[in-house]
Amino acid sequence: MIEVSNLAKRFRGSARGAGNATTRDPRDHDGWFHAVRDVSFRCGAGEVLGLLGPNGAGKTTTLRLLSSALRPDAGSIHANGIDLLADPLAARKHIGFLSGSTGLYGRLTARENIEYFGRLHGMSPPYLKRRCDELFDLLHMHEFSNKRADQLSTGMKQKCAIARTVVHEPQIVILDEPTTGLDVMSAKILLDFIASYKALRIPLIFSTHHLHEVEKLCDRVCIINHGKTAFHGTMDELRHLGASADLYDAFVSVVNQEA
């Protein structure tokens, strides 16, 4: 279980430009850009939570706060009884985080990249080998395991990045737009991989703009707009609040209501 309450994060200066009274982002004031103003949600064991919102809503900043890459100005993050703000090292041990960039070393092969990150987590060589073999089976990576990362296709790099993210068997998995730019076959493999975490009883949070992925995988959704939680609940609750059985229409309705 991961519980996020009232997260807030601001950055010095204007992030959106001056604009005018009708176009200025409401988060931009007093010489600060309040990227995240009040975000709360939870994701239980075996649940998949979809993090949704318009471009620039604050989703990526929220995920970076969860991963301990950024420290919030306010709010709390608890995972399995651990205060992740008080103990960020524990957060890094327990959480697998995929950022918007793959974070791979170009001169290393796909397998060398994953093994390197496994060693950083203190995994023993026999355990690391077994874990890599398992991930390469699940993500269909054997055919390019010995290919340098700078020679991999977009889909191959993303698979490699996913494997790097979960090689240490984290208790919570956080993925920032994992299927962006992937072809249908690669996206299907990654979506099946995400779905497999339900059986492992591991909370998984992922951000996406593809609502068909949300409909296929998610137990709960959190919509962020202008740095605030505009909705948090089940798919049926979202449809009810948005007054539409169509998920796209319900999403747009909720965002417009919050605006």
| Residue 200's CATH number | 3.40.50.300
Residue 59: what are its φ and ψ, rounded to 5°?
-65, -50
Dist CA 129 CA 153 (whole Å): 24
Beta bridge partners of 36: 9
Is residue 153 a part of any domain in this protein?
no
| pLDDT averaged per 10 residues in sequence order, the chain, 259 residues | 95 64 76 95 95 94 92 93 86 86 89 96 96 95 96 92 94 91 88 90 94 93 96 95 94 87
Residue 82: what are its φ and ψ, rounded to 5°?
-100, 130
pLDDT score of 48: 96
**Burial degree of 108 (CB within 10 A; 0-12, 13-18, 19+):** middle
Is residue 231 a part of any domain in this protein?
yes
Dist CA 121 CA 22 (whole Å): 49
Is residue 155 a part of any domain in this protein?
no
Is residue 110 a part of any domain in this protein?
no
User: In this structure, what token pair is assigned to residue 67?
Assistant: 């991963």
Is residue 216 a part of any domain in this protein?
yes
Domain extent, residue 241, equals 2-103+171-258
User: In this structure, what token pair is assigned to residue 108?
Assistant: 């290393």
Is residue 235 a part of any domain in this protein?
yes
Is residue 237 a part of any domain in this protein?
yes
Q: What is the pTM of this model?
A: 0.89
Among residues 214, 110, 124, which one has the least CA distance to residue 164? 110
Number of domains in the chain: 1
Is residue 60 a part of any domain in this protein?
yes
pLDDT score of 18: 46
